[in-house]
Chains A and B, each alone.
Chain A
Amino acid sequence: MADATLAIERPAPRPRIPEWVEAILVRLAGIVAALLVCAVLLLLQGYHPLLAYADMAVGAFGSRFAIEQTLLKAIPLMLTTLGVTLTFTAGLWNIGAEGQLTIGALAAAWLALNHPSLPALVLLPGMVLLGLLGGALWALVPAVPRAYVGMNEVISTLLLNYVALLVVDYLVFGSWADPTAFNFPYSPAFSDTARLPMLFGDVHLGLVFALAATVVVAAALGHTPWGYEIRTSGASPGAARYAGMPVTRNILVAMAASGALSGLAGMAEVSGMIFRVQQGLSPGYGYSAIIIAWLAKLNPWAAVPVAILFAGLLNGGFALQTSKVPAAITYMIQAAILFLVVAGESLLARVRRARAAAAQKAALGGAR
């Protein structure tokens, strides 16, 4: 009888490797699998996959120019990912990072275009502020109905992306159009005082914004009461309410903060890279942010390396095109990575469930 008691009290056997290592391995396996799948597709089209991937790697990281360009692309990716991470952690499906980035860019650009003679020390912080505000307000538009009547934010945030693009069109074809640009849809270029200073090489100050934001978001989520509330709301809104947390207020704050981060990304793009308002301010950073946030398992620190890798993937894709591989390959790889990593995660969840069930069975089975 002593044996039986001991058997019930024995805890489930630990997995041989820590869970966080498992998570990384699943992601790596997903990425490798995605590269294999795309290699097969490349082969079928008559391209040499290893040469193609080598080309991509060189295009992404193979020279000082490449590394700088990859970092430049990583800046808006990091900021939008942090924004998206915040909302996803809160259980809010903010698909509107693209629109929030755009409106933030427009708000910052408004100051640059209307007050170009202000000194940089006034203009740049002003643009940062407007970028944050613009993005936050654009995110609040769908946040309010979500918070008060539960309107599904997936659709509202997504559709507002298109509205934001139309606002850009309205401005660049209309009152913001550069009169010397033969009626092509651009604004005049920003004055020198409205351009972010360079940090090193071609990389602008936006990198500091991105890294600072990472620290702030990680600290907020992990080490503040508010962060705790956010994480609880995301895990179980019912539990959050029961514990007396201000869920409605937190929805608004989380969405606004997320929008602000994306708006900052827009400001950084427009005053660090593009220096004017035009169509195509963002090649889909807000959407890529969702994939990166997922791959980084909603961890703000992990967002930095994953964003850099993603930026490398995008730049590598351009390099690949110069070898005549079709542009679609970059998007195929992105999609395959997401698909296979999600599949890997779901497989891992099954394995863990089976493992736990077996352990439970073993523990119970011992009590005979």
Chain B
Amino acid sequence: MTRQGIRGFVLIALLAAMLVPGDTLAQAKPKVAFVYTGPIGDAGWTFQHDIARRHLEQALGAETTYIESMPETADAVRVMEQLIQKGYKILFMTSFGYQKLSLEVAKKHPDVFIVGTGPGIGLAPNVKTMYGRIWEPRYLTGLIAGKMTKSNTVGFVAAHPTPGVLPGINAFALGVWAANPQAKVKVVWTRTWYDPPKEKAAAKALIDAGADVIAQHQDSPAPVQAAAEAGKYAIGNNSNMAPFGPKAFLTGPVYDWRPLDEANVKAILAGQFKSEDYYGGLSDGLLSLAPLHEAIPDSVKKMVEQARQDIISGKLQVFKGPIKDQEGTLRVPAGEVMSLKDITSTRWLVHGIDGPSPTAQ
């Protein structure tokens, strides 16, 4: 064969290879799509989900794609349909607001599996939800905040008064008071999941009001940055936010979706998908604390570690009565423990928290 001939042959072979439909080559590679409610650059909620997505590529050789900043509206249904048309059979929907929409899509496509974010409001044979008991690590961060505050005022920058947020704030406050009954807890609502300038301004307002530890339930590290700039401490959210304020960042709850996502994909591939509302927390590693700041005294570190183990073993119940709400109504009678359902339907703040009532928002 002449050189020309060989070159021509190789070119044609390459072209032919490109024309082979991807599916036949990708039989062993699962196609997994992630739909995010915010940008990956939020360094928070979505960022942690994306870490899990990339883990799936490495660990399982999965072919993945993602959609960022997808609003929880009918457009999400369109996008899901388009993903399914492109052959993505496993969808991870990373926000509560997609649940109703996912159920619609799941009905039309029984061969597609959808893993959503809880608390679960409805299941289907091909739908499950996952949810993290955020109040567990928040209690621990409350203990730390209570011990590290010198001004006895702790601030919390909160997004929306929803079930993912309110129990977290309540658990945080209860932790603060368990470690430091004199401390004040102030809450400011930003009404946004992700708006760095607004979150920073809210943190600054809390600092001006005397807070020297700023905690948050927001998707961006802006409050950590505000605390760092003012020389105060901060407790983060969702991810390890130390890079945004190394001297300020005490710790924070961190989500690790990798083991759960991997287990779910493996189960789907093995035909063992389990439709359920799964709740994870400290015990299964879904939630953990970011590495603790070196300024935290060893005694505090020991106390937190003990509390962590007690929560896992069940010895320590975060929401054990008596607990009153801001108006004074007894929400949890003495000696009783709040059920999971009650925790995830919380619409009130614990008595003693200084801030607007969630129902007034």
Contact = CB atoms under 8 A, between A and B. Distances in A.
B69 A327 contact: yes
Contacts of A315: 78
Interface residues of A, number: 29
A87 interface: no
B346 A183 contact: yes
A174 B359 contact: yes
Nearest to B346: A183
B75 A318 contact: yes
Interface string A164-192: 00000100011000001111110000000
Interface string A271-305: 00110001011010000000000000000000000
B346 A321 contact: no
B193 to A, nearest CB: 11
A283 B162 contact: no
Nearest to B120: A182
Contacts of A323: 65
A306 B118 CA distance: 40
Interface in B169-223: 191
B279 to A, nearest CB: 13
B82 A322 contact: yes
Contacts of A13: none
Interface string A306-332: 000000000100110111101100000
A273 B66 contact: no
Given A174-B359, A180-B121, A274-B74, A322 B67 contact: yes
A63 interface: yes
A169 B161 CA distance: 11
Contacts of B352: none
Given A59-B82, A173-B361, A322-B86, A184 B33 contact: no
A65 interface: yes
A161 interface: no
Contacts of B97: 184, 278
B284 interface: no
Contacts of A278: 72-73, 97
B247 interface: no
A94 interface: no
Contact of A184 (B81, B83, B96): B96
Contacts of A80: none
A322 B68 contact: no
B65 A322 contact: yes
A318 B162 CA distance: 28
Given A173-B161, A183-B345, A321 B68 contact: yes
A69 interface: yes
Contact of A324 (B65, B69, B358): B65
Contacts of A327: 67-69
B74 A273 contact: yes
A319 B83 CA distance: 8
List of 4 A-B pairs having minimum Cβ-Cβ separation, nearest first = A182-B163, A321-B67, A280-B71, A318-B79
